[in-house]
Structure 1
Amino acid sequence: MLKNQAISLQYYYVQGKGNIVSDMGGEKVMLSIHNGKYYNLGEIGGRIWELLSQPVGIAEIVTSLMSEYEVEQRECELEVISFIEMLSKEGLIESGEDHGLL
């Protein structure tokens, strides 16, 4: 898990195990089996969660979102990093160093 680790462009990120995710009116909601908390990921957060189904880097997430939504690159990068930090702090994702996976 990624707790207390800085978010890095050299890492890939992937969904952690033990989360139940449902689509509710176009927004994703999630229940963490590990901590018993519910999370409303929203529409864009839900899309990021989908991208995290396979090991992915922040740059790849940003590129995907910019092709799907009207957003400036810098704003998108900041929002993605903030979202990844939240997922990390809550123990919902895992990470590893990029060893040619990206």
Structure 2
Amino acid sequence: MNLNQTVVLSPEVISQEVSGETVLLDLNSENYFGLDEVGTRIWQLIQETGELQAVYDTLLAEYEVAPEQLLQDLEKLLTDIQAAGLVTINPGQP
């Protein structure tokens, strides 16, 4: 994963936070996708900036996690929500 990439939320996705977790609804497919507390924080940061480096840096500062583990977890979530059509990941500079 390239941290210089940007993430754009699909305009067809509605999100609602419920008790610290987020439920996403894709209006095109009518599928729901649930995010836990950390996934919710990632979603919030994507909404705020869309810049993966900023998302990564903020999460690294907020959570006690090894940098490599955070990178793996972030990549996994982004792969999942991109495959579900909830976001588009734009290529960044290498």
Q: TM-score range by the shorter chain?
A: 0.7 to 0.9
Identity of aligned residues (%): 24
1:78 to 52, 72, 75: 72
Gaps of 5+ in 1: 1-6
- Taking only aligned residues, the RMSD between alpha carbons, in angstroms, comes to 1.6
Aligned residue in 2 for 1:52: 46
- The CA distance in 2 between the partners of 1:29 and 1:87, in whole Å, is 12
1:11-54 deviations in Å (ceiling 9; x for gaps): 21121111111111111111110111111111111111111113
Query: Which one has a larger percent helix, Structure 1 or Structure 2?
Result: 2
Gaps of 5+ in 2: none
- The CA distance in 1 between the partners of 2:91 and 2:9, in whole Å, is 15
TM-score by length of 1: 0.80
Are 1:89 and 2:83 an aligned pair?
Answer: yes
1:28 to 22, 26, 30: 22
Q: What SS is found at the alignment partner of 1:14?
A: strand
Q: What SS is found at the alignment partner of 2:16?
A: strand
1:9: Cα distance to partner? 3.4
In the alignment, is the contact (CA less than 8 A) between 2:26 and 2:32 conserved in 1?
yes
In the alignment, is the contact (CA less than 8 A) between 1:18 and 1:32 conserved in 2?
yes
- The CA distance in 2 between the partners of 1:56 and 1:90, in whole Å, is 20
1:38-95 deviations in Å (ceiling 9; x for gaps): 11111111111111113312x3222111111111111000000010000111111012
